[in-house]
Amino acid sequence: VNLKEAYKVLEADSNISDEDLKSHYKKLAVKYHPDVYKEDPEKFKKINEAYQFIQENKQQEVSQNPFQGFSGFDFNNFDFFQYPNNFGKGTKSNFRFRKNPNVSIHISFKESVLGCSRDIKYTRHIKCDVCDGKGIELKGNGCQDCDGFGRIVSRTANTVYTRSCQKCLGHNTKKNNCKNCNTEGSVKSDVSLNINVPPGVANGNSLRLSGMGNFNGVGIFGEEYSDILIAVSVKSDPKLSIEKNDVVSYLDISLLDALKGCSKKVETAYGEKEIEIKEKSKHSDTILIPNCGIKGTDGKHRIILNVNYPENINDLIKILEEQKCLS
């Protein structure tokens, strides 16, 4: 294969920009994916090989200029790269980005204020120990440097790039498919965990469990596992709500109680509490109960008074006169 042929396979002009080539390649790969394009299953492989070949040539150009650094594959579009075996045989990268299992938990309003714990169960992919996550086993005198892949994968935070194995130049790829994992490099494993839900988690928040997701491959930093995001849904409470670190509720009281003052029992996330309402309290006055907001913060429970006035004007005047509010 030479560059000219590679561009021909991709039906592209050799002057095409990197960006255009990439999007063009993705379109072709989707169009000719073997699941879709049954006429010529080899076509997909050829396209991938041609694209990789062009990328590698570019990388070699780039690596000769120490001031430019690498510009390799970027895996921004994870969905696309979730196609199995998307690089075809012999050019397979040992990185696979698998969709993580969806895990969600449901908690009550009070649990969101106080924090709680939950048992969770899900199934994830873990490294296949038989082939050490590679999906293949070396046969006889296969190349040790590249593990028979013919190429070496390196990775930074955002970028994955490959280069041909300098030792065997990609020719010594004797290998057997791993039977334990059926070349996946990973096997399924059930996880059951007890997780702590910290106080203050709001409906729609996610909890991240670092490294508890799927096995993605063995990289230069060792085994790589993705994170799991646990979606939390909080059941709303008909009476209580959250504002910053405070819990807020409304209390209906009569005009007479507001004028004379009284004590009332109110429901908080920490159980029932008794509060004192001062005489001559007004509508919308706030009463604070300390240490009853989001646990572990200086949040309070804020009671907002909702003073109910008598509907009948004569009743209103009677109350005001009795309380010596009119003179």
Q: How far is CA 205 from CA 111, 112, 233, 272, 287, in A?
A: 14, 11, 8, 28, 30
145 binds Zn ion (CB under 5 A): yes
Binding mask 78-117 for Zn ion (x = CB under 5 A): ----------------------------------------
If the CB atoms of residues 187 and 262 are measured against Zn ion, the closer one turns out to be 187
232 binds Zn ion per the rule CB under 5 A? no
Question: What value does the CA radius of gyration of the chain take, rounded to a whole number of Å?
Answer: 33
**Maximum separation of any 2 CA atoms in the chain, in Å:** 108
**How, if at all, do strands 103-107 and 228-234 pair?**
parallel
The yes or no reply on residue 220 touching Zn ion (CB under 5 A) is no
Query: Applying CB under 5 A, which of residues 12, 165, 269, 287 lies at the interface with Zn ion?
Result: 165
> Which among 25-33, 86-94, 141-149, 221-229 is the span making contact with Zn ion, rule CB under 5 A?
141-149
Name the segment binding Zn ion (CB under 5 A); options: 39-47, 120-128, 278-286, 296-304: 120-128
Burial 35-67 (b: 16+ CB within 10 A, else e): eeeeeeeebbbbbbbbbbbbbbebbeeeeeeee
CB of 49 to Zn ion, least distance (A): 17
Interface stretch with Zn ion, choices 48-56, 145-153, 243-251, 292-300 (CB under 5 A): 145-153
- Least gap, CB of 146 to Zn ion (angstroms): 3
Query: Is 153 a residue that touches Zn ion (CB under 5 A)?
Result: no
Residues comprising the chain, all counted: 327
* 177 is a contact residue toward Zn ion (CB under 5 A): no
- Give the residue carrying structure tokens 């879709």: 36
Of 168, 197, 255, 277, the one binding Zn ion by CB under 5 A: 168
Q: Are 232 and 103 in contact (CB under 8 A)?
A: no
Q: Does 129 bind Zn ion (CB under 5 A)?
A: no
Among 131, 160, 201, 292, binds Zn ion (CB under 5 A): 131
Q: According to the binding rule CB under 5 A, does residue 130 interact with Zn ion?
A: yes
The number of angstroms, rounded, from the C-alpha of 173 to the middle of its chain's C-alpha atoms is: 36
Task: List the structure tokens of 103.
Answer: 């895990």
275, containing H or E segment: strand 271-277
Question: How far apart, in Å, do the first and last CA atoms of the chain sit?
Answer: 104
Please give the distance of CA 244 from its chain centroid, rounded to a whole number: 24
Binding Zn ion (rule: CB under 5 A), the pick from 167, 208, 244, 278 is 167
Q: Cα separations (Å) of 273 from 46, 268, 296, 303?
A: 73, 7, 19, 11
Contact between 180 and Zn ion (CB under 5 A)? Answer: yes
Q: Which residues bind Zn ion (CB under 5 A)?
A: 128, 130-131, 143, 145-146, 165, 167-168, 178, 180-181
